[in-house]
Amino acid sequence: MRIATYNVNGVNGRLPVLLRWLSEDRPDVVCLQELKAPDDRFPEAALKDLGYNAIWHGQKSWNGVAILSRIGEIHETRRGLPGDRTDDQSRYLEAAINGIVIACLYLPNGNPRPGPKFDFKLRWFERLARHAQSLRDAGVPVVVAGDFNVMPTELDVYKPERWLDDALFAPEVRQAYAALLEQGWTDALRSRHPGEHIYTFWKYFRSAFERDAGLRIDHILLSPDLAPRLVDARVEKRVRAWEKTSDHAPVWIELGDR
């Protein structure tokens, strides 16, 4: 079973790239972030033509998350992260597919730091941790995937000294990510590539992709019962090189049979 996450950076503007990648790689389940489209503008028909069912949580111009599946029905279990009734940003979507709970998230960027946006990011991370713990306590197999907007270690950022004041590399944010892992989650990509500089995002300017001056901010976390089934985890860098592509590359994992 192949599960992928991809910050598409505009699902309609990048639709040809998304459809090409789905056609070539055929992941079984996909988490998308940054749809940047209201619910009525989600390209359901185009995805259906490729054999993908979908649920989505859109928002005009900003945010937006979706879950796609070509291997089974999608049973939505949660829309929006609990813990703040005033939070109307479309950043979290959760569903059960073939006996696995799939949580798709787009964590706030948090810049500038310090400031209200950074404070919101930390509060959102706290809510995520509480909900993630509740999923762990339920004892069901869970995948938490998406754009976390955090570089966990210096291995996850090109020239870390340049990012010390950024909200994506702030000590508080890195500590929040580490605390999340301490609940028992496995960072799939890092577990398969320990000690490697590996990136999932490259800015559009200054030839960042060509220089491989990137960041690892897209993560897939596995609950303890799924971690032993992890066969592989990779970044599909070739997609980042395509014309009119997102500044992120898809990340995927392969799970073996039980």
Would you write out the chain's pLDDT as a tens digit for each of its 258 residues? 999 999 999 999 999 999 999 999 999 999 999 999 999 999 999 999 999 999 999 999 999 999 999 998 999 999 999 999 999 999 999 999 999 999 999 999 999 999 999 999 999 999 999 999 999 999 999 999 999 999 999 999 999 999 999 999 999 999 999 999 999 999 999 999 999 999 999 999 999 999 999 999 999 999 999 999 999 999 999 999 999 999 999 999 999 987
Q: Where are the alpha helices (DSSP H) in 26-170?
A: 44-49, 116-138
Cβ neighbours around 106 below 10 Å, total = 25
Catalytic (active-site) positions = 106, 147
Residue 216's closest CA among 35, 5, 31?
Answer: 5
Q: Which residues are bridge partners to 66 per DSSP?
A: 32, 56
Cis omega (within 30 of 0) on the bond before 141? no
Q: Mind giving me the DSSP string for 201-231?
A: B--SSTTTTTTT--B--EEEEE-TTTGGGEE
* pLDDT reported for residue 258: 72
Supply 31's token pair.
Answer: 């988490």
Two structure tokens written together for 7: 């910050």
Q: Which residues lie below 8 Å from residue 77, measured CB to CB, with a gap of 6+?
A: 94, 95, 96, 101
> How many alpha carbons lie under 13 Å from residue 113 in its C-beta half-sphere?
20
Q: The whole model's pTM is what?
A: 0.98
- Residue 19: which region, alpha, beta or left (left: phi > 0; alpha: psi -120 to 50)? alpha
Compute φ and ψ for 208, nearest 5 degrees: -60, -40
Beta carbons of 9 and 106 less than 8 angstroms apart: no
How high is the pLDDT of residue 107? 98
151, 177 in Cβ contact below 8 A? no
Give dist(CA 24, CA 69) in Å, integer: 15
Give the closest residue to 143 by CA, choosing from 81, 250, 223, 71.
223
Query: CA-CA distance, 146 to 217, in Å (whole number)?
Result: 9
pLDDT, position 192: 97
Helix (H) or strand (E) holding 85: none
Q: How far apart are CA 61 and CA 44, in angstroms?
A: 18
Q: Which DSSP helix (H) or strand (E) runs through 176? A: helix 171-181
